[in-house]
Amino acid sequence: MSKTQPKALVGRLLRQMRERLGVTQSELSTRIGKPQSFVSKYETGERYLDLLEIRDICRALDTTLEAFVQALERELRALP
């Protein structure tokens, strides 16, 4: 497994959650009090998020950190 796959996976999963709710990057950035470029960079894998940042994003997207981690674990197990 390449080191960039999991990093990109976190951003991809968060982007999918955001899009499923019909929330734009700009709307999410307002909800979490960060610039839109912050959202863009973690969604593309250019920026790492710490656990508390992921928790804030999950809350802003009406989900839990636990639900996100479960989805992440499923995806990581499926990687070659």
Number of domains in the chain: 1
Give me the pLDDT at residue 1, please. 41
Give the model confidence (pLDDT) of 36-62 as tens digits: 999 999 999 899 999 999 999 999 999
Share of the chain above pLDDT 90, in %: 85
Q: How far is CA 68 from each of CA 5, 31, 51, 59, rounded to the nearest angstrom?
A: 17, 18, 11, 10
Give me the pLDDT at residue 3, please. 47
Q: Which domain holds residue 72?
A: 4-78
Q: Terminal CA-to-CA distance of the chain, rounded, Å?
A: 6
Mean pLDDT value of segment 49-76: 96
Instruction: Give the CATH number, domain containing residue 66.
Output: 1.10.260.40
Q: How far is CA 72 from each of CA 19, 30, 37, 54, 63, rounded to the nearest angstrom?
A: 17, 25, 23, 12, 14
pLDDT band at 80 (very low <50, low <70, confident <90, very high): confident
